[in-house]
Amino acid sequence: MKSFQYVVKDPLGIHARPAGLLVKEAKNFSSKITIKKDDKEADASRLMAVMALGVKGGMQITVTAEGADEDAACAAMKKFFEEQL
């Protein structure tokens, strides 16, 4: 299992457009990717679950990848967050 923490820099947080791109990116991997904010956790491949987290700018999240390609998944998700959010 690989994970990293990230503070969302986009002032709007994870809103509809980046959430859709995030889900699309997560579906490229066989590993289970989850996003955790406080005590809530969501499967990164499910748009409504990601949106339900209500992540706003300045909030810290933890992204976890677990599975066969977890190294690649974690690296790709970290790059996605740095470039998009």
Domain boundaries, the chain: 2-84
Q: Which of 55, 51, 46, 54 is nearest to 9 (CA)?
A: 55
Query: 2-84: which CATH topology?
Result: Histidine-containing Protein; Chain: A; (3.30.1340)
Q: How far does Cα 8 stand from its chain's mean position? A: 10
* Pairing state between β 32-37 and 40-43: antiparallel
The mean pLDDT of the chain is: 96
Q: Is 1 a catalytic residue?
A: no
pLDDT in tens, 25-61: 999 999 999 999 999 999 999 999 999 999 999 999 9
Candidate list 15, 36, 56, 78, residue with the active-site label: 15
pLDDT > 90 fraction of the chain, expressed in percent and rounded: 100
Would you say 6 and 34 are in contact if contact means Cβ atoms under 8 Å apart? no
